[in-house]
């Protein structure tokens, strides 16, 4: 069994040069791609993804070990017992690197600015 047994696609503060990237420091970076099945919403200090058609949201895909996967679940407020009740749920989406988990925001995004193509970065914010 491989040490890195989960793939995750990240779109916000976990990407390279973002504040939470250190959590992925021991993970294998597989590459970047564009997902046309999610839309990002600006939640202030971080984005939230919702399933929906887009022009392609840029993500980074990593292979992570079980310990890192657990840390990601904690960071994203994922509740394994009741996935729809946490801050984020996770869904498997197809990427060029194989199916990868994507954290999907569980709450209302009314009034939040949507990003339907491209990416999100703290560097692009005021």
Domain ranges in the chain?
6-113
pLDDT of residue 121: 80
Give the fold, CATH level 3, of 6-113. Answer: Hypothetical upf0131 protein ytfp (3.10.490)
pLDDT of residue 124: 54
Assess whether 18 carries a catalytic annotation. Answer: no
Which of these is catalytic: 76, 88, 103, 120? 76
pLDDT of residue 55: 96
- This prediction has a pTM of 0.92
pLDDT of residue 123: 56
* Token code pair at residue 7: 């793939």
pLDDT tens, N- to C-terminus, the chain (126 residues)? 346 689 999 999 999 999 999 999 999 999 999 999 999 999 999 999 999 999 999 999 999 999 999 999 999 999 999 999 999 999 999 999 999 999 999 999 999 999 999 998 865 543
């Amino acid at each position: 069994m491989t040490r890195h047994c989960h793939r995750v696609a990240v779109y916000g503060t976990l990407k390279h040069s973002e504040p939470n990237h250190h959590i992925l420091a021991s993970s294998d970076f597989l590459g970047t791609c564009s997902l046309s099945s999610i839309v990002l919403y600006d939640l202030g200090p971080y984005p939230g993804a919702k399933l929906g058609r887009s022009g392609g949201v840029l993500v980074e895909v990593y292979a992570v070990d079980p310990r890192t996967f657990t840390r990601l679940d904690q960071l994203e407020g994922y509740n394994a017992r009741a996935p729809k009740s946490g801050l984020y749920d996770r869904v498997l989406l197809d990427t060029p690197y194989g199916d990868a988990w994507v954290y999907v925001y569980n709450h209302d995004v009314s009034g939040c600015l949507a990003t339907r193509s491209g990416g999100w970065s703290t560097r692009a914010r005021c």
